[in-house]
Amino acid sequence: MHILRRRWVMDRRTFLRGTGASIALPWLEAMSVYGTSYSKAGELAADEAPARAVFTCWGMGMNPFTATPEKSGLDYVLPASVKPLEPLRKETTYFTGLHAVMGGHQSSHCFLTGVDSQKGKYGTSCDQLIAERQDGKTRFPLLALSCTRQTGFGGLGEGTLSWTRNHTPVLPEDRPQILFDRLFRPDSAAEVAARKRRAAEQNSVLDSVREQARKLKGRLGKADRAKLDEYFASIRDVEAQLATDAHWLAQPKPKVEPRNYAKAKLGWFRSMFDVAALALETDSSRVVTFLVRDSLNGGPFNPREQGAPWDLHTITHNAGEEEKLRWWTKIDALQMTEWVYFLSKLKTMSEGKGTVLDRTLAVWGTTNGGPAAHWKKDLPALLTGGTALGVKHAGHLACANQVPLGNLMRTVAAKMGVKVHDTFYGGAHNGTIKELS
């Protein structure tokens, strides 16, 4: 039972305001309902620190010959491809042998939806359901990041992981500087006024178009009515985004030191993860999706710049060639270092008596498995963090292609408080991961 909030208890969203500046404070113990005074504060109440979810998809998977632990359970040894994860091994559950609804090239659409886009269908991604549950608590309900600014809509969905309830793709961002400015660069009074004016104009235009379209619909045939329904769905998505933007226009952005991000290939990975970590720490967003590598050429990372004779796609088509397999393992470990960099940042961010990582469910996953990374089976996945959300890590879980990837997504959604129905993840699940409870 919570103690009633007293007058001296600080609001979580407390700002220090001065001439031309506004600084958002981090979580302080004086903000807790368990405190007894400003100077003698208590720990976080259960519902005061936010729960967070991060979904990353790594096209081309990992070298199964050097990414599969020999033993299951807690007492296992990380193999060469995943060795950089050692400092976080006890806070991670390592899955091998998961299976997805589709694999191979351009299979990332199904990663968070569970729907095979090759059959001409598009699903709702589970991150959207989690973001909806945040109910306007953050400026950005969802951050959609990618190695490209394309969505792939109309194709197989390569480019974004996030798809709305109306089965339209969320346009992702791949520029760390633009992302940083969007999150943290203060808006001038003129910019705020212009955005308010544009929002009002856009709402007015949408209302007008929607009414005209409704009148037109009654005179159309079945196929055209279906097309108009798709159009209405797109309008609803825009309206929802406009409503969120309008709510946050009057709220100052968190104040952080300005950043200038380099354009180096490995620098891009680290820069994107830096901004994502800042977004979580400042509670600017609680849900992040990131297509780090696509499933065709590996995204912005070029192994040739590290001395490899081939690109990543050619390396996966290895036919058992020892030199290609060696380079695949080297690339795995190199990029796992970047993932561990992000997780370690979350672990250093204090929140109450724990860390941001303790309340973050961070997923490393792929839809590319097998010796050539083009199969929908033999998929690896990693879940790190979330111990303050009730996750009990189980070490290495060898699933032998008996467990759908959707079970992991359903488990994360459940830990984030989302009620799951049979239609969740396109129905491509049959339960939660019991070992994590």
- What are the residue ranges spanned by the domains of the chain? 1-48, 50-185+258-436, 187-251
Burial 164-190 (b: 16+ CB within 10 A, else e): bebbbbbebbbbbeebbebbbeeeeee
Contact 63, 332 (CB under 8 A): yes
Q: What is the mean pLDDT of residues 278-298?
A: 89
Give me the chain's average pLDDT, please.
82
Report how far residue 255's alpha carbon sits from residue 70's, in angstroms, rounded to the nearest whole number: 47
Q: What is the tens place of the pLDDT at every residue in 202-248?
A: 555 556 666 666 676 777 677 667 656 655 665 565 556 556 655 65
Q: Is the dihedral of CA 73, 344, 85, 63 positive or negative?
A: positive
pLDDT value for 325: 97
Q: What is the mean pLDDT of residues 14-43?
A: 44
Specify the CATH number for 50-185+258-436; select among 3.40.190.10, 3.40.50.150, 1.20.1290.10, 3.40.720.10: 3.40.720.10
| pLDDT over 50 (residue 12) | yes
Q: Which two tokens stand for residue 205?
A: 């235009």
Q: What is the tens place of the pLDDT at every residue in 52-93?
A: 999 999 999 999 999 999 999 999 999 999 999 999 999 999
Give the model's confidence band at 268: pLDDT under 50 very low, under 70 low, under 90 confident, else very high.
confident
Q: What is the mean pLDDT of residues 382-410?
A: 97
Q: What is the mean pLDDT of residues 175-201?
A: 73
Q: What is the tens place of the pLDDT at every residue in 403-431?
A: 999 999 999 999 999 988 889 999 999 99
Least Cα distance to 413 among 396, 425, 399 occurs for: 425
Q: What is the tens place of the pLDDT at every residue in 298-355?
A: 677 788 888 999 999 999 999 999 999 999 999 999 999 999 999 999 999 888 788 9
pLDDT value for 295: 81
Report how far residue 418's alpha carbon sits from residue 53's, in angstroms, rounded to the nearest whole number: 12
DSSP-derived 3-state class of residue 66: coil
pLDDT value for 240: 63
The pTM assigned to this predicted structure is 0.81
